[in-house]
Amino acid sequence: MYPDSEVSEVITENFIPVRFDVRKDAQPMERFGANWTPTILILDSDGNERHRIEGFLPKDDFLAQIKLGLAHAAFVAKRFDESERRFREIVEKHPNSESAPEAQYWAGVSKYKGTGNGAALGETAQAFQQRYQDSQWAKKASVWAA
């Protein structure tokens, strides 16, 4: 996974990367509550966990997942313009990943939180009528449909 140039570029540009070889030292697993390998945790700059990936993923899903973590970290920090942009990028660049419906949902929430305009939620519900109709995120957004 990591020799892939796109993956390493995304990680290098956006994260402080830390790798633990748990065969040599299992203590970090206990410290951060990791119970399986591979596990990827994304922590915000205050050290709070914002996203967790357990088990192997193919490249496209992996990239979408780490970008989801990045977007969620921005959302929790109330940087809603940034989180909306990052969530929308997942939908655009990784539309077939399992992260895309979740990203579409949170892009709408980010827009609403950033602007205070409730129409953003209705637009999101409409977007789910176009794609990802069968996802749990479409069900969650359905309450916003006019």
Partner 1 sequence: MAIEWQTDADEALAEAKRSGKPLLLDFTAAPM
CA-based torsion, 93, 95, 101, 105: positive or negative: positive
Q: How far is it, in rounded angstroms, from Cα 83 to Cα 117? A: 16
- Integer-rounded Cα Rg, in Å, for the chain is 16
Residues from 52 through 111 that contact partner 1 (CB under 8 A):
66, 69-70, 73
Closest separation in Å from C-beta 140 to partner 1: 25
| Subset of 4-33 contacting partner 1 (CB under 8 A) | 5, 8-9, 11-12, 14-23, 28-29, 31-32
39 binds partner 1 (CB under 8 A): yes
Q: CA of 28: how far to CAs of 3, 45, 62, in Å? A: 24, 18, 22
| End-to-end Cα spacing for the chain | 43
Q: How far is the CB of 40 from partner 1 (least distance, A)?
A: 6
Question: Least distance from C-beta 28 to partner 1, angstroms?
Answer: 6
Judged by beta carbon, residue 37 or residue 133, the one nearer partner 1 is 37
Residues that bind partner 1 (CB under 8 A): 2, 5, 8-9, 11-12, 14-23, 28-29, 31-32, 34, 37-47, 50, 66, 69-70, 73
